């Protein structure tokens, strides 16, 4: 697989694509949010080869995962991967029904693109934050498949 391609971390529907500022990925960044409904496969995949820099569980609310406030307010596990092209942050976010998130990442571990990152029970959300130099290849409304759909390309 082309090393410059970033693949979807989850099955679902793209509900947000935006430029953002995120200190976890060194400032200017691109955010892609994917909503997983109850019929989607809820396994999360590693979007790009990298070394796990941090894994943090944050307790919070259980708002409906399609609500953009869920990215900030809901229960979540945030994993930051370090790659030669920059840092990549994956948020596994619990939804209204989903109350359990599993994450297999461990600090210092090498993760392989397409490998299992974890699992979220039922309707949930997965956010991927990438360095600003990445060209995003999806738009709001696109349906994506975890481990297969190309989300972006490293310039």
Domains annotated for the chain, with CATH where assigned, are 5-154 (2.70.70)
Local structure of residue 145 (DSSP, 8 states): -
- Higher per-residue pLDDT: 115 or 66: 115
Range 37-42 average pLDDT: 76
Cβ partners under 8 Å of residue 12, min gap 6: 34, 35, 36, 37, 40, 126, 143, 144
pLDDT at 99: 65
pLDDT confidence of 52, banded at 50, 70, 90?
Answer: very high
Given 8, 33, 71, 124, the catalytic residue: 124
Check whether 69 has a pLDDT greater than 90. Answer: no
Would residue 8 show up in a list of annotated catalytic residues for this protein?
A: no
pLDDT confidence of 98, banded at 50, 70, 90?
Answer: low
pLDDT at 1: 59
């Amino acid at each position: 697989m082309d090393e410059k391609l970033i693949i979807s971390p989850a099955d679902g529907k793209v509900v947000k694509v935006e430029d953002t500022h995120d200190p976890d990925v060194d400032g200017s960044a691109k955010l892609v949010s994917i909503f997983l409904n109850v019929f989607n496969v809820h396994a999360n995949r590693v979007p790009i080869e990298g070394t796990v820099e941090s894994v943090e569980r944050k307790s919070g609310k259980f708002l409906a995962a399609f609500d953009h406030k869920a990215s900030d307010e809901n229960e979540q596990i945030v994993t930051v991967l370090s790659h030669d092209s920059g840092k990549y942050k994956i948020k596994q976010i619990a939804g209204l029904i989903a109350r359990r998130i599993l994450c297999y990442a461990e600090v210092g571990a090498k993760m392989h693109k397409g490998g299992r990152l974890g699992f979220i029970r039922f309707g949930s959300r997965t956010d991927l934050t990438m360095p600003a130099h990445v060209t995003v290849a999806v738009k709001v409304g696109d349906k994506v498949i975890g481990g297969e759909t190309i989300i972006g390309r490293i310039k």
